[in-house]
Amino acid sequence: MRLLVFLSVLFLIHGHAMSQNKVDVLIVGGGAGGTAAGIQAARSGAQVQIIEATPWLGGMLTAAGVSAIDGNHELPSGIWGEFREELRKHYGSAGALATGWVSHTLFEPAVGERILRGMAKHQNLWIEFNASLESVSYEQGKWKVTFKKGGELHSTIATVLIDATETGELLPLVGADFRFGMDAKSDTGEDEAPAVANDIIQDLTYVAILEDVSSDPTRQRRKKGLVKKPKGYDPENYACACKREEDEMFGKVSDCEQMLNYGKLPNNKYMINWPNCGNDYYINWAELSEKEFLEELKKAKAFTLGFIYYIQNELGFQHLRLADEFPTKDQLPFIPYHREGRRAKGKVFLTVNHLEKPYDYTLYRTGVAVGDYPIDHHHDKNENAPEIAFINIRIPSYNLPMGVLIPENTENFLVADKNISVSNIVNGTTRLQPVVLGIGQAAGAIAATAIKNKQDVGDVSVREVQNMLLRGKAYLMPFIDVSPEDAAFESIQRIGAMGILKGYGIPYKWANQTFFYPDRMVSEYELKQGLLAYYPELEKIDASGRGVKIAFLSNLFKVLGKELNPTELQSQWNDWEIEQPYSEATALNRKSVSVLLDKVLSPFDIEISLEGKVLRD
């Protein structure tokens, strides 16, 4: 009897411990952003929990099947760079990932999920899969989230809450202001925006993964993976799938093999995520109940299955079968690919004007993630969508300011996916997978810094977060000509983020660019002008158009109270891995000047606001 009582008490204690948990950082959504946020925050010392509704990590990367990376091929920033390196190890080389023409990096979703799960193994990180959100509340300075798993209710108490859902699901639940649909020109100042706002968002897609079974006669004889004709099937919906007229950005698609090879994956698989008379589908889900939304998702699935039926029967590719990529009854992904959802109203609002001319503003100084993809919107399936040539809005590669991750008027709450504070137009480029991985990593760094310093996320030092990200080999500025393996990478990123030495950005096809030109000479005048925003006392320094030499730097540092001892500098030159030979007669290049400024002057110690304004004592 005593044993029975003891076991009963033990069961109650154990049940209570399992039903309520306490962590520093709670992340709702284990997609690309949520996974990266969890990894970064855990590595930075915070106790972290991720609540994920599906059995997979990775969201659009894996659980939605969008396993062809869009953009950032030359910007392997932080966790995105780590993930790509693990993919290369798995498949054997970088070339083994370049199987389709849409991307340099294509992989099987199940492989990507296993890699992310391995990266997320950390003693500070707990993940609850198959967990459905029930409620969110803020009580006595703490967030409380209740979720259901296995038919039982559980709750977690956390200091910082992160919305990393695919659609900004938490924003209305926590009372955060948000934007939805297309913004009016009067609200954003964007010339390209419509005159009147609307609630139109981008088409979503239920991706499918097909597998070529032509080399296996036994599998080819079986019907598994062949799609039955869906109810309401209309071949006219897909009639132009194999033909697309040539344009400047997309190029010409002239046959069905080319269409299918768009998303060809390793191991003879094909990602079917085709925009031209393919499987995009429009749902105005914001106006629907949960039940209505699920019914619309069934229609979206049927539309994709109709496209597969069309491929197999009308086009004659019966050797391409639905692959057993996802452990689902219908062999389709766990979730659709949401290109757009609610967007938080943040401490900072990023518009296309900031992307087009970053140095006309100061937000670039607060950069925490980077992207290079064009502004790409999908609106073909909604006849009411305004005719806007989004793809013709030309921008260079860009960075995202820290303030877009911090919603207004909420305490210790962050966003970490496609729900950041950007305009509808800007969402067309910030929604892509590598950018969202970077957004998540930045959110994790902000959260961990807030926990360490016992601050609200809105009060965290921009520079402290940026330095944390640099230690993780993340980019603050999208300089494609200085890699994280370069010894000067951190110095160049710091000096570049301050705008002391500016980059040169251009729009370029499907991979926009920004160059630092590390080997280019720096003139005295250029350096002085770059430093004046932080050191106005340099105004009286004479600066010519000649190249900067050590003597000029020595004089400049002296004005700022830093003595530059030539003998000491010579000994430190090699320690700092400066590539130019030490010479007082040689004009210094941008890389050398960046290292010397960073090491001697430490200008990055000067704090800035979320708007990029210099904070003076």
Using one digit for the tens of pLDDT, what is the confidence trace for 475-527? 999 999 999 999 999 999 999 999 999 999 999 999 999 999 999 999 999 99
Assess contact for 190 and 62: CB atoms under 8 A: no
Residue 376: DSSP 8-state: -
Q: How far apart are CA 32 and CA 435, in angstroms?
A: 9
The CA distance from 41 to 443, in Å, is 8
What is the distance between the alpha carbons of residues 398 and 46, in angstroms, rounded to a whole number? 29
Give me the residue label for tokens 């029930």: 134
Q: Is residue 234 classed as helix, strand or coil in its secondary structure?
A: coil
Residue type, 204: L
Sign of CA dihedral 457, 460, 465, 468: negative
- Residue 310, pLDDT score: 98
In degrees and rounded to multiples of 5, residue 152 shows phi and psi of -115, 150
Taking residues 266-291, what's their average pLDDT?
A: 95
* Lookup: tokens for 475: 């980019």
Q: For the chain, what percent of residues have pLDDT higher than 70?
A: 96
What is the sign of the dihedral through the CA atoms of 73, 75, 81 and 83?
Answer: negative
Cα separation, 248 vs 271, whole angstroms? 24
Task: Please give the span between the terminal C-alpha atoms of the chain, in angstroms, as a whole number.
Answer: 71
Cα–Cα distance, 220 to 100 (Å, whole number): 24
Of the candidates 431, 434, 339, 333, the residue with the CA atom closest to the CA atom of residue 104: 434
Q: Does the pLDDT value for residue 10 go beyond 50?
A: no
> Is 80 exceeded by the pLDDT of residue 244?
no
Contact 308, 382 (CB under 8 A): no
**Angle at which helices 462-471 and 489-498 pack, to 10 degrees?**
150
Residue 142 clears pLDDT 80, i.e. is over it = yes
Q: In the prediction, which pLDDT does 349 show?
A: 98
Tell me, what's the pLDDT at 247?
66
Tallying the residues shown for the chain, one arrives at 617
Q: Please answer whether residues 372 and 510 qualify as being in contact, where contact means their C-beta atoms are separated by less than 8 angstroms.
A: no
Residue 547 DSSP class: B
Closest CA to 57 of 79, 80, 78, 29: 29
Distance CA 141, CA 97 (A): 46
- pLDDT per position as a tens digit, 382-398: 999 999 999 999 999 99
* Rounded average pLDDT over 541-560: 96
pLDDT digits (tens, 9 = 90+) for 407-430: 999 999 999 999 999 999 999 999
What does the angle CA 365 – CA 370 – CA 375 come to, to the nearest 5 degrees?
A: 115
pTM value is 0.95
- Cα 588 to the chain's mean position, in Å? 35
Cα separation, 443 vs 390, in Å, equals: 28
Tens-digit pLDDT profile for residues 293-326: 999 999 999 999 999 999 999 999 999 999 999 9
> Which tokens sit at 42?
């855990």
